[in-house]
Structure 1
Amino acid sequence: MRVRLPRWAGPLAVKAAVFITVMCCALAALLGVLVHVSVTNQTVGKARELALGRLASATTAFETGDTLGAGVRVDPPGLPRSLRELALGGERGTVVADHRGRPTMWAAGPVDRGRVLAVEVDYSQQARTIDGLDRAILWSSALAIGVTVLAGAFAVTRVTRRLHATAGVARRISVGDLDARVGDPRTKDPDRPQDEVAVVAAALDSMASSLQGKLLAEQRFTADVAHELRTPLTGLHAAAELLPPGRPTELVRDRVAALRTLTEDLLEISRLESGRERSELDTESLAALADRVVRGSAGDTEVVVVRDAVVETDRRRLERVLGNLVANAHKHGRGPVVLTVDGRVVTVRDHGEGYPEYLVAHGPQRFRTEGGAKGHGLGLTIALGQAEVLGARLTFTNAEDGGAVARLTLP
């Protein structure tokens, strides 16, 4: 199962948090070891000097026959074995060991007839000091790591939030919302430092503005051309009607009608792309509407009603969508063409070679052809635009056993 991270916790934030934590732990461990070693060496050194000083005084007292002080004995039973062997070898030394349940600093040296003189110094206070220091190092390190991680996570999540916002705007632009902008405050104030995220946001906003300007210019050009063509086409149509009957006249009238249809389609696309089209809702039975579309279309189309549904939609626009899908199936596919109504889902399928790969992947594109194949004209583009006005979802796929499948899902 894929774990879905929250919006602020992308991989960058996770990696940064892990990196900060590891570096903090390593730094805290290094500093803790250095402090522990330094303080322990000082504490042990002072205790060793004290024990050796007392051993020197006790040795002098033993040699002169004076009374030995407290904690000074000859061959004491609790003396560590390693220190006893060192003293028997003629050397003086110290060692820290537990004696009677508490830490003890031992100092020992040789005396006459193979005996050992040892001094016992209580090391409990020094041991408690070192233990307290270790605990303080652990707690302060944990606190420092926690504070550093929180501060680092806060700083990183501010960056990742801005990156997520930039990515969200890019996704909105990719689906057609050309008004979307990041609007990073850093890009609006030239005196503020521009980090990498602000540079990316500024570049994305600039790209969106440029793309929007080019698309608006293209839409205006398309609309202007279509409007300008209307007047001469109207006159050409009237002139064609005055021609004497015959095959040449039929050809002229047919081409004029095709040009008029193309012009009206271009105007319709311009209106759809402007985003000003609004649907006029009414209650319709999908089965009855499908029958009307099929009766008004050219070619033999089978209507299959699995489950009828009454929807609130714009009848004219829905008929336009289904009519274009059926016409495209007859023009670019092969029969039988089947229109299926299953609740709020209407499917149009033919049994031809199917849709091109680019159309399945990216949707219909005006007049596009690929690999020498015949293009799909404007019908599917208009169908997709009208479906968006209706709030419906129109998808294009290819059936496994061959044929193109257009599926319209009404809201």
Structure 2
Amino acid sequence: AGAIAASATVQTNAITIDPDRLLDLKPGESYGAPDEQSGLDFPINPERVAPVLRTLISPTKTRARIYDPGGGQILDSRNLENVLRFDLPPPSSEKPNIAERAMIAVRTWLNRGDLPLYRELGPENGKGYEEVADALKGQKRSMVRVNLRGEVIVSVAVPVLRSRTIHGALMLSTQGDDIDQMVTAERLAILKVGGVASAVMILLSLLLASTIAGPVRRLADSADHVRRRIKTRVEIPDFTRRRDEIGHLSGALRDMTDALYNRIEAIEMFAADVAHELKNPLTSLRSAVETLPLARNENSRARLLAVIEHDVKRLDRLISDISDASRLDAELQRQDMEPVDLRRLLTTLVSVANETRLGHDVTVEARFEGRGPADTFSVPGHDSRLGQVISNLLSNAQSFSNAGGKVRITCRRARSDIEIIVDDDGPGIRPDALERVFERFYTDRPHQGFGQNSGLGLSISKQIMEAHGGRIWAENRAGAVGSDGEATIAGARFVVRLPAP
């Protein structure tokens, strides 16, 4: 507007000066409507304004119109021949096709609201535009309208001032589809971004479903099958080749399931072994009871009663040992481990074994190979259960030793572990039975000792050692070399190894 005002020409023959009028003007005040002007007159020359207008709007498709103070149109950028070219909408006489009607309906729906309707007014009706009327009063004004095609048109009008006098108004307006094209372009850009984001989300969902949800679902189904069919071994899917959480979960479930099945099998085997061991004394007891009424003399009756008493004691011993073995795991899990002084424990057990002897004329000697008398050989564990292991080993060694023999127990350090060695002077253990002696109900005693033991002592000892993170094994002590050049067996040796803190 300033550039247009600067291009206005001076009409010297139209200048009339009223000194009183000029003196009455306040600072910043301008002349209003042309009928009130009695001072300076600078009319807008279209020939001089056209190049300026052409330069201002040529980079854009904006339409520019200049109105004189009376609202008459002086210049319209659409009428600048050989300068600007605009694609005008088709004549209203031509009906739009289906695609155009659909586009108009969409634009009308998107632009729905309280926007006023835009209509083209004649060149002499510039004041019919509210923004132009306000601009001729010295105020800037903008308007947003919608044409008949549903297109948004934004217009703005500003006054053309020179020497604080309003010489006209400049109105700039967009073409019918300018705003819609920009909005459509932005919407398409948003749709493209949304489409790409949706595609990425779908791909990620498929990837997650195939790499995470699918394997987890298979693991869950397998775990449910294990729960419902506990008697049937169900294979858990193996994803351990994956180096992620799914692989770790698969490995943990497989290990847990294997431990569960092994536990179930151990319980079933234990139940079968118990039934078998209980059946033997019950069969003997039944035979003795059935034969007792048929005894012809007191000696026969006494022998049968002795058999009955022996079988009853054997049953009582079996049931007690079975009960102890069945409670062992639960007790070890409930109780917390505490430091155990093995020196004091072994000293006490050796003293008790020498005092009781349990019908065996065998002495027990203890020896400690450590860091001195102050070395307590302390290990974390349950003192009562560790004492049970040592008592079982001492009892076995005494029972297999000859009268007047000795049982030697040695406690020493072996690197980061503590070893307890129990040696006897008995016949030793057959090589094929070195592992079997730790099986449940296994016994390899002389005929005179049959029925005196349940065969669970060493099995319970092994179970206790495994719960303490230790080991127990059997071996034979080598004696003198015989005439055949092979070493004889000097006795049996049981070794217990416990981790030391």
TM-score band, normalised by shorter chain? 0.3 to 0.5
TM-score of the superposed pair, with normalisation by structure 2: 0.33
Q: Which has the higher contact order (CA 8 A, sep 6+)?
A: 1
Rg larger in 1 or in 2? 2
